Each structure stands twice: as C-alpha cells, then as structure tokens.
Amino acid sequence: MFVRLGISHRLCSPMDDAMKLTFYRCALLRYLVASLLLCFFPLLVSAQQDNQPTIRFVRNPDPAPEFKLAGLDGKPVTLADSKGKVVLVNFWASWCGPCRAEIPDLVELQKKYKDRLQILGLVVDDEDLDAIKKFAARFGINYPVALATNEIRLQYGGIPALPTSFVLDSEGRVVQKHEGLRDPVLYETEIRSLLGLPIGNVKVETFEDTGEIFLKNADRATELPGVDLSKLTPEQKTVALHKFNAESCTCDCDYTLAQCRIYDRDCKTSKAAVTKILAAITAAPHAAPASAAQPASPVASPSPEKPHE
C-alpha cells in the first residue's frame, strides 16, 4: 500500500496535487480540533463533575437514640430489632399533607428492600389511635408505626418540621437527616449506597455535623444562621462562639443561643441576644480567647416550630 502511494506521488498530475493539498488541509484541521479538545478536556470534565448528582453522609456519625414504643399492632417498636439493616426513622402526622404525599413512596421502598431496609413511622402531634390505624390501613403502610413521646422527639432534636426522616446505616448511626417532602429517588440512592449497591453516576461526599443532624453538635459550628461574624477578629470570633454555646436562649426552647439559631433562625429572642453579645465584644478593646470551637461549615436552618414539652 505504501509503495503504491509512493508511485502515485511520483506520477501525480495537477489534479492530484489539488487533492493532496485538500487532504493535508483536512489533516491539519483534524489536528487542530483534536488539540483544542485536549486543551479543553479538563474543563469539560470539571463541568461534568460540577453537575454530577451528589449525596452526603455525616463523616463521624452519632448513634441513633434508642427507643421502645408500642406499635399499632401492640408489638414493640425498637431500633434494636432492626440491627444490621439500613433504617429510616420517619416522624410524621396523619394531618400533615407532605407526610401523606410521601407515604406511598415509603411503602414502595419498604417493599423493594424489605430484607435489608426497615422503615419506622413515628407519629407526632396525633394521639387518636383509631384514626391512625384506619389511616395506616387505607394507605397500606407495611412498616411498624408507633406514637412518639415528647422525650423521643427531644432526643432527636425537637423535630421542627414534618415530615422529618433520619437515615441510619447498618450500625445504627445517623448519617443523614431530611426535613420536609423529598424526592424518593434521593432516599433510594442513599439506601442503595449504604447497602453497597450500585448508584450509577452519583458522588458520595461526607460532612461534619455542626448541629445539622443533632443540635448537641452545634458547638462545632463556626457559622450560625443570621449571625454575621465576618467583622470579628479570629480571637473575637472564638469568644463569641463560646458565649453562644454557653448561654441559654430565653424563648422557652431550652436550647443554647447557638442551638436556637440553628433550630429557628426566625427566633427574635436569640437574635437579640447574639446581637448584644457581638456589640459587647466589638466594643471591647481586646478580646481574650475562650475555649476553641472546632471548625465546621454552615448549616441549614429548619422551620420555626418548637418542640412540645
């Protein structure tokens, strides 16, 4: 083949020279296009990664608070009975529209992963057992349902919004918390990831709990909802965070100022208190460092509903 091309080259006519020129031009164009693609390939990959769907789990998860409740069928409902399974603890109420909307999806998830997943429905603000039983039967709920006590609600952070679901890994640790109605695809992707099943082109990230899951971890936060710390020196910021975690809010929430800001960013009481603290710190000539608060990232604030005592 190469020999024939060589002979043809030696015997080419003016028309052959034109074809040859066209060939070289096309080859040069292909080379330039390929070079440009190679130059921009990292940017294309980066753009794809930026648009890549992502799920997030707590880096060092805390054990889920244990409970023992009587189910609608009279049988005990506990976390211990679900040992070794991925668990979804779903706080809900029959009068809650978003709760009703997600129940069919939870029923399907329980059915699909019945051997490795356990959904537990804990009812709050609703004590009419007969009505709840009728509701469960009408919706075909295929997982245990029980009434949550106020103590359990507080152990799980007060449950500021409904529905609220806690995702537990097979070791009984809380790795994620979701407030409000969520896409069932998100739940299934998290469940499959925790079960070691394929999740397609989904990235898994980890984060530090700074009160986002449990309010008791609010002392790890370095930023709080509605609190501007940008004008403080590092030493002043340390003092401010120490005070926010040491002083209690007086809005009857029984939380520290930091916890209340995370729990309810609309609370005027905690807002006024932290503003007063910031004013005092910035007015002082020098602020001495206090106990260091561990660095973390900002957290999202939930709805303003307060836990019932």
Please give the Cα distance from 138 to 54 (Å, whole number): 35
224 and 274 in contact (C-beta within 8 Å)? Answer: yes
On the question of pLDDT at 26 being above 70, the answer is no
β-pairing, 62-63 vs 173-179, is antiparallel
DSSP-assigned letters across all residues of 169-194: -TTSEEEEEEES---HHHHHHHHHHH
C-alpha 251, offset from chain centre: 28
Q: Which of 7-11, 71-75, 220-224 has the lowest mean pLDDT?
A: 7-11
- Contacts within 8 Å (CB) and 24+ apart, 281-284: 281/232, 281/236, 281/239, 281/240, 281/243, 282/231, 282/232, 282/236
What is the chain's mean pLDDT, rounded?
Answer: 81
pTM for the complete prediction? 0.70
Per-residue pLDDT of 192-216, as tens digits, reads 999 999 999 999 999 999 998 988 8
Which of the residue ranges 10-19, 23-32, 72-81 has the most confident prediction, judged by mean pLDDT? Answer: 72-81
Q: How far is CA 68 from CA 73, 96, 149, 150, 287, in A?
A: 14, 24, 10, 13, 48
218 and 262 in contact (C-beta within 8 Å)? Answer: yes
On the question of pLDDT at 165 being above 80, the answer is yes
Per-residue pLDDT of 267-293, as tens digits, reads 999 999 999 999 999 887 654 444 444
The pLDDT of residue 30: 54
- Contacts within 8 Å (CB) and 24+ apart, 184-191: 184/102, 184/105, 184/106, 184/108, 184/109, 186/55, 187/88, 187/105, 187/106, 187/109, 188/109, 188/112, 189/53, 189/55, 190/55, 190/57, 191/86, 191/88, 191/109, 191/113, 191/117, 191/167
The pLDDT of residue 133: 94
Please give the Cα distance from 278 to 281 (Å, whole number): 5
Per-residue pLDDT of 236-278, as tens digits, reads 999 999 999 999 999 988 889 998 998 888 999 999 999 999 9
